[in-house]
Structure 1
Amino acid sequence: MPFGLSNAPRTFQRLMNRVFSGQIGQGLQLFLDDIAIYTDDIDRHLQVLKEALGRLIKAGLKASPEKTRLFQQEINLLGHRVGHGEVKAALDKLAAVKDFPTPKNRREVRRFLGLTGYYRRFIEKYAQKAQPLTKLTSEKQPFIWGSEQEEAFEVLKRSLLKEPVLRSPDFSRTWYISTDASKGAIGAILAQRYDGHFALCHISVASFEELSFAMM
């Protein structure tokens, strides 16, 4: 599928979904032309890898040797560091957050929220923390950068720069769900207990503006 066509990504994704139908989620995940194989041991890894390569050959697709990494303990994937049962934000993305200058207009606010929002599942109460900035993205609001906006900007930075970690789920363990809500946002945390403490597996947050809830 040629690059540049508006439907190319969706068309290619449908193709890949068909090629790997039945294997996705069984030691293999994909996003467009990125294929990630994950297993707990070498034998299973070889089995999944062999099947994946066989499907590529059958479909007439090729993998780039230069971009291929085999039997890695940790990989960079879609802006994340993945390995050892953990998921972290990529170091270059953390550097971009650290060096992001104070926004001077709505466009820069949207850029910052886009950068940090990509990692919102790492940040507890993200929507609540980001709300002063989210309000600035509305054309109906005057663009006024005050102490409240500066504090929200710094809080989001600090929240990511302390390098929060999400743990890969262990489906043999008990799940714990924690929910919370305020006047401006709702959220939930999915966690599992390890050695007496809770390891976060997923954080989901949203402001009422994002959800477009009617407020009575």
Structure 2
Amino acid sequence: MCQFLTSKYVSSLDIPMSYYARILAEINRRVTAIVFPWGKFVFSCLSMVVITAPDEFQSILNMMLGGLDGVWAYLDDVLILSDIFKEHLSLLRSVFERFKEFGLTIHPRKSKLCTRSTDYLGYRIGTTGIQPLHYKVEAIASPRTRRELRRFICMVNYYRDSWPRRAAILSPLTVAMLPSVPFRWSDDHEATFTRMKIAIMQTVELAFPGYSKPFHVQTDASDYQLGAYPVNKLELPTNKLVLQEYRTLLLRHEIHIHTDNLNLTYGT
């Protein structure tokens, strides 16, 4: 995140057929065997049928792009950040040379070069902050099964920092997802589902923090969202949880906590 703050140019690369660039040793090919009526076949390269394929390919990317500051890779998505245009071009050249060395290619239609913003891992990353990609959730139809509901909730939770009161809005759907509750999609569930999608459609940008300034933390709590805590003790666990959740962001910086519990101001 610190690097995002000073970056003016961003490029994103998509690697097509990424796993197939990894040639398997002869001794390892037998674990990929697939039996057909007309014979048995094995993969000569890395395949998605191998459960460790993502870890293997990620380790290859880490080794391939190691030592390049400003280059981030998650499986087949590569992000390149820099502040100066000439440095960005030089960084792109280094990345392309390593791609060529390892036999990887890029998808031209899914890649963007030298832009001010780009889509990466479900977010639109710009020079001032990040925004969730609304279309990822907007296209989801009303769940008809518990599995479809779980998929929707997981996708919303991926963007958990983007909308206030997300947990409170989702609570009826969270209860409906429990295995102990018979799955029956009601009008109340549909209203909650629609309400959440409307919240998602709103344009929300999470701004990058200014590390040169002190941080102000706003906290609150309720019986419903924190569980069975006594009312007079709610604010303390809330403050503790928020400091734990954002410890990597707040560590070694001046912090001001705003709370409506006066008793906590006298704590030591």
Q: Same fold (TM over 0.5)?
A: yes
1:105 and 2:148 aligned: no
Q: Which has the higher contact order (CA 8 A, sep 6+)?
A: 2
- Of 175, 182, 195, the residue aligned with 1:155 is 195
Specify whether residues 44 and 96 from structure 1 end up closer, same or farther in structure 2 by C-alpha distance, changes over 3 A only. same
Distance (whole Å) between structure 2 residues aligned to residue 168 and residue 39 of structure 1: 16
Q: Determine whether 1:13 maps to 2:53.
A: no
Q: Secondary structure at the match of 2:144?
A: coil
How many angstroms apart in 1 are the aligned matches of 2:208 and 2:73?
17
Residues 77/175 of structure 1: CA separation in 2 closer, same or farther (3 Å cut): same
Contact preservation (8 Å) 2:137, 2:155: no
Which of 49, 64, 71 is the aligned partner of 2:106?
A: 64
Q: Does 1:133 align with 2:173?
A: yes
* The structure with more strand, counted as a fraction of residues: 1
Aligned twin of 2:119: 76
Give the partner amino acid of 1:44: E
Residues of 1 paired with 2:209 and 2:94: CA distance? 24
- In structure 2, runs of 5+ residues without a counterpart are 1-21, 23-45, 227-237, 250-268
Displacement of 1:162 after TM fit? 0.8
Q: Distance in 2 between matches of 1:148 and 1:22?
A: 53
Aligned to 1:166: 206
Distance 1:145 1:74 in 2: 39
CA distance in 2, matches of 1:44, 1:174: 31
Say whether the 8 Å CA contact 2:81–2:88 is kept in structure 1.
yes
Aligned residues: 186
Work out the CA distance in 1 between the residues paired with 2:191 and 2:212. 41
Rg larger in 1 or in 2?
A: 2
Listed as ranges, the gaps of 5+ residues in structure 1 are 192-216
TM-score (norm 2): 0.58
Query: Do 2:137 and 2:156's aligned partners in 1 also have CA atoms closer than 8 Å?
Result: no
> Is the aligned partner of 1:93 residue 2:160?
no
Superposition pairs for residues 201-216 of structure 1, below 5 Å?
A: none
The residue that corresponds to 2:47 in the other structure is: 3
Q: What CA RMSD, in Å, does the superposition of the two structures yield over aligned residues?
A: 3.0
